[in-house]
Structure 1
């Protein structure tokens, strides 16, 4: 984990850079696709969804959520990715939903720089790294 400074433009620029964004998404998809069939099952996606810790923390403090609530949340998140409701997520669905979520985060962050603690392999960290590499190249 590292503390990084970013704003909405950091995220927007990453998503709009089709090459960087698509490579990052395809890489994450390939790592999640443990059976290498080109589709993500609920169990393959669950590991990724659990890293989000959407209900396991409350203002940074670990809490023990109701297992039924947790199952409902994870199922709901999976359904968000499964656009055609066939029980699996293909690369295109994964890419489109990741893009939608990244843009939602950008809208929430706004255009004033904020400091965030980011996981090393997160899409937000990749957005910051992309921004830094383009600044250095200039």
Structure 2
């Protein structure tokens, strides 16, 4: 993990750079698809959902969370990805929902730079690295 400075424009630019975004999504999907069947089950997507730490922290401080409540939140997030409600998430569903979530993050951040702790290999970290590469060129 590292502390990075980013803003909504960095995220929007990454999502709109279709080729780079699609490559990153395919790579992420392939890492999550443990049984290599081209579909993500709740169990496979759970690692990604857990990394979001939706309700486990409060201003960066871990808080006690009822495991049943957390499991329910993860199930509801999975439903957001599973557009056709077949109990599995295909690559297009994963890409579409990830794009929607990233654009929502960008919208919420606005265009003023903020510091964030980002996970190595995470999509936000990739967006920052791409932006840095563009600025250096």
**Where on the TM-score scale, by shorter chain, does this alignment land: which range?**
over 0.9
Task: Give the distance between the partners of 1:78 and 1:30, measured in 2 at CA.
Answer: 17
Q: How does 1:1-138 map to 2 (within 5 A)?
A: 1-137=1-137
Per-residue CA deviation, residues 79-111 of structure 1 (Å, 9 max, x unaligned), is 000000000000000000000000000001101
Instruction: Name stretches of at least 5 consecutive residues in structure 2 with no aligned partner.
Output: none
TM-score (norm 2): 0.97
Task: Give the distance between the partners of 2:83 and 2:54, measured in 1 at CA.
Answer: 21
Task: Give the distance between the partners of 1:5 and 1:70, measured in 2 at CA.
Answer: 29
How far is the alpha carbon of 1:8 from its aligned partner?
1.0
Runs of 4+ off more than 4 Å: none
Aligned residue-pair number: 137
TM-score (norm 1): 0.96
Task: Give the distance between the partners of 2:28 and 2:85, measured in 1 at CA.
Answer: 21
Task: Give the distance between the partners of 1:69 and 1:29, measured in 2 at CA.
Answer: 26
